[in-house]
Amino acid sequence: MINVPEMFGELVFNDKVMKERLTPEVYKSLHRTIGRGKPLDLNVANSVANAMKEWAIEKGATHFTHWFQPMTGITAEKHDSFISPTGDDGVIMEFSGKELIKGESDASSFPSGGLRATFEARGYTAWDPTSYAFIKDNSLCIPTVFCSWGGEALDMKTPLLRSIEAVNRHAKRVLKALGNEDIKRVISTVGPEQEYFLIDKEIFSQRKDLIYCGRTLFGAQPPKGQEVEHHYYGAIKPRIGAFMKDLDIELWKLGILAKTEHNEAAPAQHELAPIYTTLNTAADHNQITMETMRRVAEKHNLVCLLHEKPFAGVNGSGKHINWSLSTNKGQNLFEPGKSPKENAQFLLFLSAVIRAVDEYQDILRASVATAGNDHRLGASEAPPAIISMFLGDELTDILNAMESGEEYTENEKTEMEIGVDVLPHFPKDTTDRNRTSPFAFTGNKFEFRMPGSALSVAGPSTVINTIVADVLSDFADKLEASEDITRTLNKLIRRTIREHKRIIFNGDGYSDEWKEEAARRGLSNLPKTVDALPAQVADKAVELYARHAIFTKKELESRYEIQLESYCSTLEIEAATMLDLAKKDIIPAVNRYVTELSESLVIQKKAGARVCIATVTEQDQLSLLFDELYKSTIKLEEAVSCIPNYKNDIEAKARYLCDTVLVRMAILRDTCDKIEESTPADMWPMPDYGVLMFDI
Ligand code: ADP
Ligand code: MG
């Protein structure tokens, strides 16, 4: 029997372990650092490091590593062993406070977008004591931030921590103005639902596109796709079940609250959702989860695909970021209250999110823009590239009533109480039915559904926190200056609804009517990464991030460059892989089949028998398609050979790849898929969609 409570967190240097292993003074001092961001004294650091080392060695660790999240989207680590020579040919195991707190790292192999000139190759990592250290593969992993020597953030965690502080600061101000004097902290909470595909390793290894690009570049639709929606929540196959069981155990040991595992809509697609936790930890945990998924899959002779769109024609994979704010006393600020006062507070915070999402829709959109996610957003399975907010009919009615309130009474006080008295509790099932909304209020939290499955939680969460902090800071200014809080609060809510209600949409986000309606409302529609990314470096964004000290202009520009570079290299690799497959595998295979058909015709004619119409037709059609295939391969090859080598104009290069290369890739794929449909399975040079998605 597995003793889950005992196993849970056994590889984590968590609060319980700290209490056991640190002296009360050291423990207290560390807590002050964690809770209030006070700098850690070196003596304390030495004690903590020593306790960590002793504990880690008992758990079998021999190394330690600063574990960080560069802008590659995955995590990085550099391992050092604990050994230190004793001078008499022996070693002892050592780990100092200095080594715990700060590490030097050769930053030159990580993307920096021009922040770090090459001669300045060093960066440093610094311990983030707000996230627990843990053990992985015999290494003590210490969560850290990663910066250049100039102090610029080179990672995902630094801005995330800054945004957590920003929203804390301004939410606290608002709460205080509303009379909650005793709130010490406002905490951002996140529960990320993670979608993924599992396919057989043997089959995977026969697909170069999956190996190099993580997604299929060719593939005709199988006779059965996801039309028959019985996979969703369907019975889990034994092999998948064994994987999920193993995965849960690995995650639990790492203190990750893996909670639900189920099948998703597409064949071979699954989802894991943890129980929510504080944002910084949730982001770290999601990185570890993705990594663990890959590793555990290998053990089961499976491959875990985290790409946003591994297969055309079936759903892609998302990462739904469930986000909320709660006080240090455990009050969820997006939980509708039981009294008018609590409800007023709830509606004010809700208004802040409405305004933030509307005002900064383009920045929010940009936060999920990647080459892979472009295949997902706007397809009729994932949220459209247009940002809108779902609130549900009840809440929308209440807000509308509040907005028009002015017209039927002059006494704002009673009016507001009328408005909020009727505020019902929102059971989840009445608010969560709309699955097409990019940003949905789901009863007591928001669910941002646009992020792709491979994306770090940190990026979009940094944006949500920052934009909400920005609006809250404006609300706080007004409330702090007000002489009649109720009146000001009422005004703020009403004004927000009047000015920002265009962002609220409770209908079908997949429909064409919505696209037209959204255009009428003036909402931005940025379907592609190249359209979406520039918002991140526009003046509005620069000012927003500067106001809250999240990013400097330089940091923003470097990130923009890194994202464009990453976009370009993804597309370049895909185009090259496609050409490789077309020229070395597909064209020769089709050629063999065409030859076979011709030979068969010759034989039939020679034999003097009646020539089969089937053979003639097949040969005719195929040779036409074969010409097409050849032509579209050449066309793509030409496009690739003309990829501009703009060193200084990465935008133009990305634009070219999007408008020319990607378009020709689609044409080539289309022709190929048609040919695949009429080629014998044993002559096709790679496993088909049916095998990929159903043979497991
Ligand atoms: P769904 O129907 O979308 O699958 P779930 O109830 O399973 O919804 O919740 C999805 C995620 O939302 C879970 O990870 C859950 O822990 C998380 N969640 C619940 N409450 C909060 C909250 N207050 N803050 C952040 N995440 C939350
Ligand atoms: Mg969900």
Report DSSP letters for 467-530, one per residue.
HHHHHHHHHHHHHHT-S-HHHHHHHHHHHHHHHHGGGB--S-TTSHHHHHHHHHHT--B--SHH
Q: In this predicted structure, what is the pLDDT of residue 636? A: 98
pLDDT, one tens digit per residue, over 627-639 is 999 999 999 999 9
- Share of residues in the chain with pLDDT > 90 (%): 73
* Ligand nearest to the CA of residue 320, numbered in listed order: 2
Q: Which atom of ligand 1 is nearest to the CA of 191?
A: 14
Mutate to test the pocket of ligand 1, among 193, 323, 444 (most ligand atoms within 8 A of CB): 193
Per-residue model confidence (pLDDT) at position 116: 56
- Tokens read off for 652: 């133009």
Higher pLDDT, 230 or 38: 38
pTM for this model (two decimals): 0.94
pLDDT at 409: 40
447 CA → ligand 2 middle, Å = 7
Residue 371 Cα, ligand 1 centroid: separation in angstroms? 27
Cα–ligand 2 centroid distance for 335 (angstroms):
18
Indicate if the pLDDT at residue 235 is higher than 80.
no
pLDDT tens profile 441-474: 998 999 999 999 999 999 999 999 999 999 999 9
Pairwise pLDDT comparison (102 vs 533), residue with the higher score: 533
Residue 340: its H or E element: helix 340-359
The pLDDT score that the predictor gives to residue 616 is 84
- Measured distance CA(637)–CA(635) in Å, rounded: 5
Element spanning 400, H or E: helix 393-408
Check the CA dihedral 323-328-332-333 and report its sign: negative
pLDDT at 417 over 90: no
Q: How far apart (Å, rounded) are the C-alpha atoms in residues 651 and 333?
A: 41
The DSSP bridge partners found for residue 426 are none
Mean residue pLDDT of the chain comes to 90
318 Cα–ligand 2 center, Å: 10
> Distance between CA 2 and CA 8 in Å, rounded?
11
Q: How far apart are CA 73 and CA 562, in angstroms?
A: 11
- Mutating to test ligand 1, I would choose from 256, 261, 276 the residue with most ligand atoms within 8 A of its C-beta, which is 276
pLDDT of residue 230: 56
Cα–Cα nearest to 69, from 500, 528, 336, 455:
455
pLDDT given at position 121: 62
Q: Which residue has the higher pLDDT, 426 or 388?
A: 388
User: Structure tokens of 67?
Assistant: 């574990």
The pLDDT of 502-528, averaged and rounded, is 94
Atom of ligand 1 nearest to the CA of 193: 14
Q: Is the pLDDT of residue 329 over 70?
A: yes
| pLDDT band (50, 70, 90) for residue 408 | very low
Angle between helices 485-500 and 412-421 (to 10 degrees): 60
Cβ 555 vs Cβ 152: under 8 Å = yes
Average pLDDT over residues 538-562: 96
Predicted pLDDT at 612 = 83
- Decide if 280 contacts 157 (C-beta within 8 A): yes
Locate the ligand 1 atom nearest the alpha carbon of residue 334 and give its number.
23
Q: 153 φ, ψ to 5°?
A: -70, 130
Residue 451 Cα to ligand 2 midpoint, Å, equals: 12
Cα–Cα distance, 512 to 586 (Å, whole number): 37
Ligand 1 binding residues, C-beta < 6 A: 189-191, 193, 260, 273-276, 322-324, 332, 432, 444-445
Q: How far is the CA of 430 from the centre of ligand 2 (A)?
A: 14
Q: Look at 415 and 135; give whichever has higher pLDDT.
A: 135
Which listed ligand is nearest to 318 at the C-alpha? 2
